[in-house]
Amino acid sequence: MPKLRAIKCGGNIMTGFAPVQGLVGGVLIGLAAVLMMFTLGRIAGVCGIVFNALTTRDPLNTQWRVAFIVGLPLGALLVTLVGLKDWSSLSFPVAMPTTIIAGFIVGIGTTFGSGCTSGHGICGLARFSVRSLVATATFIAAAAATVFITRHMI
C-alpha cells in the first residue's frame, strides 16, 4: 500500500519517559487552574478563553483573557531562560499540510465540544463533571485511534 506522505504522522521519533518532569509540570498546570479559580473565579480552559477573547466584544472581559493567553508563551520563555528547556529537543513528526488541517479541526472541535484538554480534562474532571468525563474519554480515544491509523495502518 502506498504511503500517504502528506498525512503521515511520524517517523516514530522516540521520546524518553520523563515521569518527574511530567509530574512537576502537571502540578504547575493544576496550580494555575486553581489560582485562576481562586483569583478570578474562572475555569482555566485554554480554548474557551481563546474563543471568547476572539469573539466577545466586551473589553473588560477580553483583557484578562488576552493577558492569560500572552502568559502562556511567556511562561515557556521563562522556563527557557532559566535553562530548563532546550527547544532543539522539540520534534515535529508531522508534515505542514497535516499541521494546518489539524489546527483547523482542533478549532472547530473544541468550540463545538466546549473544551479541550485543560477545560474538560483538568478543570472539568476536577469538578467531577460528567460532561467533561465523556468529552475527555472521547477525545483521548479519538486521538489514540487517529495515531493508530496514521502510524500503523496507512
Partner 1 sequence: MPIILSLLVGIIFGAGLTFSDMVNPARVLNFFDVAGSWDPTLIFVMGGALVTATLGYRLVLAHKAPLTGGKFHLPIQRQIDLPLVGGAAAFGLGWGLAGFCPGPALAALVSLEPKVWLFVIAMLAGMTVTKVWRERQSSKEAQ
Sites for partner 1 among residues 105-144 (CB under 8 A): 105-114, 116-118, 120-127, 129-131, 134-136, 138-144
Q: Per CB under 8 A, does 79 bind partner 1?
A: yes
| Nearest residue (CB) to partner 1, 2 versus 92 | 92
Q: Per CB under 8 A, does 6 bind partner 1?
A: no
Least distance CB 121 / partner 1 (angstroms): 6
Half-sphere exposure (Cβ direction) of 24: Cα atoms closer than 13 Å: 5
CA distance 136 to 116: 8
Kindly report each contact of residues 64-71 with a partner whose C-beta sits within 8 Å and lies 24 or more positions away, as own/partner: 64/40, 68/36, 68/44
Q: Per CB under 8 A, does 59 bind partner 1?
A: no
Under rule CB under 8 A, which residues in 22-51 are in contact with partner 1? 22-44, 46-47, 50-51
The residue type of 32 is A
| Nearest residue (CB) to partner 1, 2 versus 15 | 15
Q: Per CB under 8 A, does 152 bind partner 1?
A: yes
Contacts of 51 (CB under 8 A, 6+ apart): 110, 111
C-beta neighbour count of 123 within 10 angstroms: 22
Under rule CB under 8 A, which residues in 80-109 are in contact with partner 1? 80, 84-85, 87, 89-94, 96, 98-109
CA distance 47 to 109: 10
Q: Per CB under 8 A, does 4 bind partner 1?
A: no
Beta strands in 45-149 (DSSP E): none
The binder of partner 1 chosen from 14, 57, 59, 83 (CB under 8 A): 14
